[in-house]
Amino acid sequence: MAMVMEVKNMSFFSAEPTVDVAGKVLDEFGDVEGLKEVIEGILALEVSGVYDGLVHGMGDDSRLDSGDFDELSELIKLASENMSKFPLSIPFAPLITAKFVMVTYTFVYDLYSIRLGRDFTLNELNNIFYGSMATRILLMLDDFDSDLETPKPTTEFFKRLGKVKWQNKQVKRLYNHIHEINFMLIHNKWKGTERVSTTFLVTEEAFILLLSGCSAVICGRDKINIFDVVTANKTYLKLINTDISRLM
């Protein structure tokens, strides 16, 4: 269930041990609360069978193209109606567009499939797209597995999400550096292996950016700060380490 988005040119980079890249990020941003926990969580993905499944891609279910899912979910409707649909991240384009919201379903689908370990029933497929999990992830972040009631998505939330920007260059730099750790981990661990998803890194980056923007909006801000970047990465790592099949 792949998302097609802008693929950044990563042809020019120097391969380094992942721990060395992580160490450099900590040296520069060591005073950021929660960052050490995030980086330790990313490094632990090297031995995660769930992450291995995400990296290699779980494949599409032919029933997704059968016409049974023509009705858009509430989240996708609100995003489409209130956010830009521009497909690429270019200068002056919004930082987060409606397409980013669709990435949430990619991760719910793949994580659920990995945990379930079998083909979905039609009811289970319906629950992915029309159930509450995607909403809980975007509106509750790392509380997605709590006993709290699922918030109601609103037009205002998505209007504000479509307008968020970086607080400053330092915040964007931290976000990019954390992504570099993920990139180096995948390069060092899985380079040359068969079926490594060519779009996974792009989809992963988009998802964490989306979560960062959601954190800002939830906190009543129109700019993504360092707290939002850390919160987004914590949420992502928690999703990987949680058996979401229990929550569906």
Q: Is residue 171 part of a domain?
A: yes
Give the structural domain span for 80: 18-56+72-84+93-246
In whole angstroms, what is the distance from residue 58 CA to residue 49 CA?
13
- The pLDDT, as a whole number, for residue 91 is 61
Q: Is residue 6 part of a domain?
A: no
Q: What is the pLDDT along the chain (248 residues), one digit of tens a residue?
A: 444 344 344 434 567 999 999 999 999 999 999 999 999 999 999 999 999 999 987 556 665 555 455 577 899 999 999 999 765 556 667 899 999 999 999 999 999 999 999 889 989 999 999 999 999 999 999 999 999 999 999 999 999 999 999 999 999 999 999 999 999 999 899 875 656 666 888 899 999 999 999 999 999 999 999 999 999 999 999 999 999 999 99
Overall number of domains in the chain: 1
Q: Is residue 48 part of a domain?
A: yes
Q: Is residue 10 part of a domain?
A: no
Instruction: Kindly give the residue spans of alpha helices, DSSP state H, lying in the chain.
Output: 18-29, 35-44, 49-56, 74-82, 98-116, 122-130, 133-140, 155-161, 169-190, 200-218, 226-241
Q: Is residue 165 part of a domain?
A: yes
